[in-house]
Amino acid sequence: MMATSDLIAPQTCREPATLAAGGPDPNSFDWAEAWYPVAYVEDLDRTRPTRFTLLERGIVIWWDARGATWRVFEDKCPHRLAPLSEGRVNEAGLLECPYHGWAFSGSGACEQIPQQPAARPANQSARACAISLPATVKQGLLFVYPGKAEHAAQVEVPIIGPVEEEPDGWVMLNTFRDLPYDALTLLENVLDASHIPYTHHKTVGNRENAAPMVMEIVESGKQGFRGLWPEGPRKGKLGTQHTTFIAPSLMYHDLTSQQFGRTLTVVYATPIRKGECRLFARFPFKFSSKLPGLFIKLTPRWFSHIGNNGVLEDDQIFLHLQERALEKAGTRPYATILLSAHPGRPLRAGLPQVGQ
């Protein structure tokens, strides 16, 4: 299902046609003013609500059959703050609270209070409405905007540019996993390709391929950067690698080689709370022959998940511990010899930490 939700707020004539992610202040980045993926649409169940936490805020995802779209509410009933995610989508297609049966339409309006007298329609009060968040579906992912709803339609949804520009011929593997460290820690790790030969030795790397990594930053700003690694991985055996980071949550490496064709390694880091994030890893391939693509299509999803999770477990424990050591170090400097976001400069120097 690739329909786009109608929860995106309309533009107003008093504001610019587009707004940059992170808010209007050029000297700071507001994490709430951006779009984040929260689930693959194919993983969502239209018959029951799904709970998630985004930037320390509980949300509930549910299918609105009346509007034929996915809806996202704050996970609190306005009555007694019971979690709506513990409720159900009732026979009328409304999201129903499990506590007293208050039920809400896709707009957040309360349409049903079983206990109210007919002469006193309390459900018509604005205080009886659930809080709705802007949501949209792009490239098979459900995105949510946790900031000011009126800004949502003006902020670009971060999608995979090459796939959008040339949609034909791609074969894509998808996985996700909740990780016990910050979104910034995840992004620094995946942007730092120099760790792969050692950390992922015998999974997707080999220690013998460790070599100096020199990336040229061709474009940089508050909204991210683009980089070029002329030699590329495996000591130049695969060709030049292009890297794109779109703040605050998306990065991808783009590599075209004679051996494998065009390969993208795409990572979204969605902040759950401080010290926890959800990884969405996507691997779009455009092979020079049809056989590898056919093999991928026939591979069960659970089987590819086993391999992907094995790679994640190569570095999960020490990234978790490293993050806590860095927090204890505070403002004291630590070695930044190898590339993370910019040469010698960690990504966290340009973005605030989640929870700050």
pLDDT in tens, 318-334: 888 888 888 888 766 65
Highest mean pLDDT among 136-140, 179-183, 302-306: 136-140
Q: What is the pLDDT of residues 41-82, one digit of tens each?
A: 999 999 999 999 999 999 999 999 999 999 999 999 999 999
d(CA 60, CA 71): 8
Buried b / exposed e over 160-184, threshold 16 CB at 10 Å, is bebbeeeeeebbbbbbbeebebbbb
- Position 341 pLDDT exceeds 70: no
d(CA 342, CA 346): 7
The helix, strand and coil proportions of the chain, stated in percent and rounded to the nearest 5, come to 25, 30, 45
pLDDT at position 14, please? Answer: 43
Q: Hunting for tokens 């007298």 — which residue is that? A: 117
- The structure's pTM equals 0.86
d(CA 104, CA 200): 48
Number of C-beta neighbours around residue 93 at 10 A: 15
Residues 6+ apart with CB under 8 A from 143: 35, 36, 37, 38, 135, 136, 137, 157
Residue 95 within a domain: yes
d(CA 245, CA 189): 13
Cβ–Cβ < 8 Å for 102, 77: yes
Does one domain contain both 144 and 102? yes
Does one domain contain both 90 and 230? no
Does one domain contain both 167 and 99? no
Look at residues 154, 185, 216 and tell me which one is the last residue of a structural domain.
154
Look at residues 126, 154, 182 and tell me which one is the last residue of a structural domain.
154
Residues 6+ apart with CB under 8 A from 31: 22, 55, 248, 271, 352, 354
Buried b / exposed e over 134-145, threshold 16 CB at 10 Å, is bbbbbbbbbbbb
- Looking at the DSSP bridge assignments, the partners of residue 35 are none
Look at residues 99, 125, 154 and tell me which one is the last residue of a structural domain.
154
Residue 313 within a domain: yes
Q: Hunting for tokens 């910034």 — which residue is that? A: 184
Cβ–Cβ < 8 Å for 251, 190: yes
How many domains is the chain partitioned into structurally? 2
Q: Which domain holds residue 41?
A: 36-154
d(CA 188, CA 192): 6
- Position 89 pLDDT exceeds 70: yes
Does one domain contain both 166 and 215? yes
- Position 336 pLDDT exceeds 80: no
Does one domain contain both 210 and 330? yes
Does one domain contain both 191 and 80? no
- At 355, the pLDDT band (50, 70, 90 cuts) reads low
